[in-house]
Amino acid sequence: MGRFRDALAAPGLTAVAEVKRRSPSAGDLRPDADPAALAFSYERAGAAAASILVDARFAGSWDDLRAARAAASLPLLAKGFFSTENDLRTAREAGADAVLLLLRDLDDETARHLLGVASDLGLDTLVEAHDGDELGRASALDAPVIGINARDLSTFAIDRAAQLELVASAPRDRVVVAESGIESRAQGAAAELAGADAILVGSTLMRAPDPGAKLAELLSRPLVKVCGLTRPDDIAAAAEAGADMAGFILAEGSPRQAAGVLDVPETMLSVAVRVGEPGKEEADLLQLYPRKTGKVRGRNATLFRNGREVARVLDLPWGEDDPAHLERAQAATGRIMLAGGLGPDNVGAAVEAVRPWAVDAASSLESAPGVKDHERVRAFVAAAR
C-alpha cells in the first residue's frame, strides 16, 4: 500500500488533521485558514497525514491541496465528493497521496471502479461508511482503509456511541479511521480502544487558537485517571484539571467504595473498578482485579471494553512495597496503565521511566478516604503531562 495507509497503520493512535475553512453544519470555522501553514504545523505536531477539503462547499479548492503539498511532506488526503476518474487524476496531479470515496454517494460498481483507478494512479483511498450497511459494503469491496463517520450527512447530527460500535465491528485486518466528533483526548481514546487505528479531526482543530497545539494535545499520552471518586464535586475538579478517566471503586470493603458509576462529562471516560467478577453497572471501561485468597485483590488488573481486553493495569503488590515496580513496568509491552503509589511528586519520573499509555492514582490525591484534595488532583494531572 501507499504512504497514507502505512502512516495511519503505525503503532499507537494516529491522526489525520484536517484543513477546513467552513462546514455546512457549523458555517464558517476559520475563513482565513492557510493550508500551507496548517499542513506544516500539523506535521510538526505529529499528524500521520493531513486532509485538505477541495470542495467549494467547504470554501476549499485544488489550490489548497497544492499549497499544502508545497509546504509539508506528510501524506495528503484530498477530500471532496469524487465520482469520476478525472477527479482522481486531478487529485494525483495536485499532490494527493489519497482520496476520499463516500459510499453514501457511490454504488458498489462505481466504488470498485474508482478503487481500481486509484490503485493504478498510485493513490490510497479512504472509503467512508456511515452505518452498518455501508461498513459491510466497504468490507466486501476490500477497502484497505475504512473511515467510520459519526456524523449523519443528512442531519449533521453526531452519534459517537453508534460510531464506536461500528468501529468495534470493523474488520481487524483493515486500517480503521474514526471521523468527526473528536474534541478531547478521552474521545480519541474511546475510538482507539474500540479498535480505531486513527482519528480524523477537523472542526475541533479549526476552532482552536493554535490548531497544531490542539492536535498535539489530543494525541498526548499518558492519559490520566483519577480513581476512588465518590462525589460529583470531585469529578468536576478532576475534569477541570484535565483528567481523562474517572474511576469508581465498586469493590465491597474499600474505604473508597462508590455508590455506583456516577455521571462524567463528555471529556472523560468512566471506569468501573471491581475485584473478582464484573458487575452490571454501565461504564465506558471495566478495570478488573483478580481475587486472591486472604487478600482483597491481586496485584494487576485488566482493562476491558465491552468484554474485550484493551489494556493492562500494572500495580503494586497489595499492601507491599516493590522497588522493582517501575523496572517491571518498563519491560511490559502493549497498552499499560501504571498504578500503585503514584502522586504529584513521583508521577513525572514514573512517566519518564515507563512511557505508559495511562497513569492512575487514588489515595495520594485525598484529604480523607473517598474525598479528593483538588489541589493535589490538579498537581497530579499537571505532573503527569
Our CA dihedral for 226, 231, 236, 237, rounded to 10 degrees, sits at: -60
Q: Which residue has the cell 466528533?
A: 181
Q: Is the pLDDT of residue 156 over 80?
A: no
pLDDT for res 1: 64
> Using an 8 Å Cβ cutoff, are 315 and 273 in contact?
no
Catalytic residues: 18, 20, 79, 128, 149, 179-180
Domain 223-384: CATH architecture, name and number where available: Alpha-Beta Barrel (3.20)
Q: How many CB atoms lie within 10 A of CB 237?
A: 20
pLDDT for res 53: 97
- Stretch 136-165: mean pLDDT: 87
Distance CA 139, CA 14 (A): 21
pLDDT digits (tens, 9 = 90+) for 278-315: 988 899 999 999 988 766 788 899 999 999 999 999 99
Q: Where in the chain is the domain with CATH 3.20.20.70?
A: 3-219, 223-384
Identify the H or E element spanning 18: strand 14-19
Q: How far apart are the first and last CA of the chain?
A: 35
pLDDT digits (tens, 9 = 90+) for 157-194: 778 888 999 999 999 999 999 998 899 999 999 999 99
Class of domain 3-219: alpha beta
Which of 53, 35, 46 lies closest to 74 in space, CA to CA?
Answer: 46
Torsion region of 297: left, alpha or beta (phi above 0 gives left; psi -120 to 50 gives alpha)? beta
> Using an 8 Å Cβ cutoff, are 254 and 240 in contact?
no
Q: Is the pLDDT of residue 152 over 80?
A: no
